[in-house]
Amino acid sequence: MRARVLVRPKQGILDPQGQAVERALPALGFQGVRNVHVGRLIELDVDDPARLPEMCEQLLANPLIEDYEIVDDVTARSNGVAS
Amino acid sequence: MLWHAERDLHGVDAVIIPGGFSYGDYLRAGAIARFAPVMEEVAEFARAGGLVLGICNGFQVLCEARLLPGALLPNTSLKFVCRQVELEVVDAQTPFTRECEPGRRLSIPVKHTTGRYYAPEPVRVLLRYAPGQNPNGSQDDIAGVCNEQGNVFGLMPHPEHAVEALSGSVDGLRIFESMRAHVDQHVLA
């Protein structure tokens, strides 16, 4: 299975990267943008998707400071989400 | 020097995990190095009460390995900060600070991009940045913490860069002298 893991900074923890992006957008003429957060995307082919949460907890994310979301790419694509 | 791929501590009296950019800080600083084969031995050594010191990237590795509480986040400024800072000794009752007095100031350089300490639970703080000296936005101006038992210590500043008068300060020696005094008293006695 082709999976995507989205890793986001936890709510409530200062995210200066998100703030930097949020400040940069108006300078380019984009108004009305708020609450920007910058995370990371990990894409992988896995034989055993059941082990993905464990991979996230141990390596792909630091659960103390990050939230993660596992997206099944095939399901996402069949639902019309762009890949 | 202990090799990262070797599961052998060769009977050392203390382990020091140095600074650097292990694995290029890929994914997260220290996230991959924490799985080095030698780290299993380091964890065993720490569980048995052995002294473990993590400096900068070493501190990040210890937090990722859950040998210390909390995590290191990007500096609030998003910049790499490289400058001398004043630290205050908060707890002088540990193997790493026993040669200091509480409140003593140490002048030691920091050199990091990802040094903002964060811990949602209470921690044992050994060193704080003196007022106005916090280079990275760490909560409560925390510069270094230890575990509950007091045998594992991590700090972002580089005491090993403050051991020669030529570099401007020898205050870093206090930490190593503390460790040596502890080993002399408890390990070699």
B112 in Cβ contact with B154 (< 8 Å):
no
Question: Is B146 labeled as catalytic in the residue annotation?
Answer: no
pLDDT range class, residue A72, cuts 50, 70, 90: confident
Closest partner residue to A16 (CB to CB) among B70, B71, B74 is B74
Given a cut of 70, is residue A6 above it in pLDDT? yes
Question: Is B160 labeled as catalytic in the residue annotation?
Answer: yes
- Chain B interface includes A55 (CB < 8 A): no
Given a cut of 80, is residue A81 above it in pLDDT? no
Q: Of these residues, B64, B112, B158, B182, which one is catalytic?
A: B158
- Chain B interface includes A59 (CB < 8 A): yes
A62/B71 CB distance under 8 A: yes
Residue, of A67 and A78, whose pLDDT is higher: A67
Domain positions in chain B are 14-186
pLDDT range class, residue A76, cuts 50, 70, 90: low
On whether residue A83 sits in a domain, the answer given is no
Closest partner residue to B74 (CB to CB) among A17, A40, A60 is A17
d(CA A9, CA B77): 17
In CATH, the number for domain B14-186 is: 3.40.50.880
Q: What is the per-residue pLDDT across A27-65, written as a single tens digit (0 to 9) for each?
A: 999 999 999 999 999 999 999 999 999 999 999 999 999
A8-23: average pLDDT: 96
Predicted pLDDT at B58? 98
On whether residue A17 sits in a domain, the answer given is yes
| Percent of chain A clearing pLDDT 90 (strictly above) | 84
B77/A14 CB distance under 8 A: no
d(CA B23, CA B37): 15
Given a cut of 60, is residue A82 above it in pLDDT? no
On whether residue A70 sits in a domain, the answer given is yes
Burial class (CB in 10 A: 0-12, 13-18, 19+), A46: middle
Task: Return the residue of A nearest to B70 by Cα.
Answer: A64
> Domains in chain A: how many in total?
1
Predicted pLDDT at B48? 96
d(CA A59, CA B22): 15
A10-23: average pLDDT: 96
Q: What is the pLDDT along chain B (189 residues), one digit of tens a residue?
A: 999 999 999 999 999 999 999 999 999 999 999 999 999 999 999 999 999 999 999 999 999 999 999 999 999 999 999 999 999 999 999 999 999 999 999 999 999 999 999 999 999 999 999 999 999 999 999 999 999 999 999 999 999 999 999 999 999 999 999 999 999 998 765
Predicted pLDDT at B80? 97
pLDDT range class, residue A78, cuts 50, 70, 90: low
On whether residue A19 sits in a domain, the answer given is yes
In chain B, residues with a C-beta closer than 8 Å to the C-beta of A13 are 73, 118
Mutation site, A59, A66, A67, interface B, largest B CB count within 10 A: A59
The boundaries of the domain holding residue A16 are 2-78
In chain B, residues with a C-beta closer than 8 Å to the C-beta of A14 are 73, 76, 116, 137
Q: Give the CATH number of the domain where residue A24 resides.
A: 3.30.1280.10
CA angle B33, B37, B41 (to 5 degrees): 110
